[in-house]
Amino acid sequence: MNTRSINLLFLQSRVRDFAILSGVALGYGLSVRYLPGGYDAFVFYIKAPFSGTTAPGWVYLCTYPLSLLEWPFGWQILTFVSVIVVGITGMLSGNKRWWGALVSAPLLWDIWLGQIEIIPLTGYLLTLLVITDRIRPMWLGLSWLALLTKPQVGLGAIVLQIIWWWVINPRKWKELLCAMGIFIGIVTLSILLWPKWVSDWLHVMRTFHATWWNAAIWPYGLLAWPVSIFIATRKVTKPRMQLRTLAASSLLGSPYFALYHCTTLLAFTEDKFSFLLSWLIILVGKGIPNHWMGWGWLLPVWVLITDIMNVIRRPTTSELDLSPAQR
């Protein structure tokens, strides 16, 4: 089979996958109209910034326009776009089981709440595209905004950017000037639109205290960082594993995260048991209200263990960088 035939088959499979993804996203988007939920979207995000939000002001540049639509249409749009971004991130990372994240408990919980995991996940997607030279480094400016929306989720991608920029593929810092300009420009715009958001946000962040839904194992989870950094800096480790292992450590090394934050992690995960485990945490803990949410750390720990096992085993083609036509 020649290269042209391989590329044609690759294109056909991508069109098929995107058609399936669009159908699933449309189904989710339509279904939430008839289901109870969307509390976080309605109370925290699909509105202008307010004094009780943990989201920085630039988030509302994306979510506030949805408030102009009649409820729950804004929530439906958020759901549709969230599913699309999860699927596309998986596809572009070379994840053959990109569909697994679409039926995982974290994503469905994210949709039911009306959460905004789509934003840090977009930061991971932009990071992936930059480090694989598919888009220019200027897009890192947008990725910083997206990743800093939820540092407990986004820190892993920021660490990978640092590793990639100064260790794996050394570049001059001047190449980041455009990215810095984009970052500063958007932050400035959000302040001009909503001058009080910075002081309100800082106050909330100082007083925020997670309780029974917190799945963190701080500070023990910090031990995951050296392991994931070692894996990420190996020459045979491809970007999907780099992002996955650092995303796991980002959650484990944070003093706060919830199970639905694992949506980003699962977008890069092929392991079938990881998807099953995301449901087992809920199903097994169903009879223990206000306790099972604290078990969410099991999922990133398991993902990190599978990556460690992949490193211990002799490298296979699944661990090496493949061309798009080979994925």
pLDDT at 198 exceeding the cut of 50: yes
pLDDT at 7 exceeding the cut of 60: no
pLDDT at 282 exceeding the cut of 50: yes
Structure tokens at 64: 């506030």
pLDDT at 112 exceeding the cut of 70: yes
Per-residue confidence (pLDDT) for residue 13, from 0 to 100: 79
Per-residue confidence (pLDDT) for residue 34, from 0 to 100: 93
DSSP string of 241-298, one letter each residue: HHHHHHHHHHHHTSS---GGGGHHHHHT---HHHHHHHHHHHHHHTTSTTTGGGGTTH
Q: What pLDDT digit, counting tens, does each position of 91-107 carry? A: 999 999 999 999 999 99
DSSP 179: H
Q: Coil, strand or helix: which one is 181?
A: helix
Per-residue confidence (pLDDT) for residue 3, from 0 to 100: 63
Per-residue confidence (pLDDT) for residue 315, from 0 to 100: 57
Cα separations (Å) of 130 from 121, 137, 180, 230?
14, 6, 15, 21
Per-residue confidence (pLDDT) for residue 8, from 0 to 100: 59
Per-residue confidence (pLDDT) for residue 170, from 0 to 100: 81
pTM score, two decimals? 0.93
Cα separations (Å) of 20 from 28, 80, 99?
12, 13, 9
Q: What pLDDT digit, counting tens, does each position of 294-310 carry? A: 999 999 999 999 999 99
Per-residue confidence (pLDDT) for residue 1, from 0 to 100: 57
Tell me the C-alpha distance between 318 and 163, whole Å. Answer: 22
Per-residue confidence (pLDDT) for residue 9, from 0 to 100: 59
Structure tokens at 115: 């959460």
Tell me the C-alpha distance between 218 and 264, whole Å. Answer: 20
Of 212 and 147, more confident: 147
| Contact indicator for 114, 43 with CB cutoff of 8 Å | no
Give the sign of the dihedral formed by CA 174, CA 179, CA 185, CA 187.
negative
Cα separations (Å) of 148 from 112, 220, 303, 321?
23, 23, 23, 28
2 confidence band (pLDDT: 50, 70, 90) = low
Nearest-CA neighbor of 257 among 229, 306, 224? 224
pLDDT at 169 exceeding the cut of 70: yes
Find the helix packing angle between 224-232 and 298-312, rounded to 10°.
Answer: 40
Of 235 and 228, more confident: 228
Q: At 205, which helix (H) or strand (E)?
A: helix 197-207
pLDDT at 138 exceeding the cut of 90: yes
The domain segmentation of the chain, as residue ranges, is: 8-319
Residue 222 CA to its chain's centroid (Å): 20
Structure tokens at 164: 């990639």
DSSP 123: H
Degrees, nearest 5: CA angle 209-211-213: 125
pLDDT at 320 exceeding the cut of 50: no
Q: What pLDDT digit, counting tens, does each position of 230-268 carry? A: 999 988 889 999 999 999 999 999 999 999 999 999 999
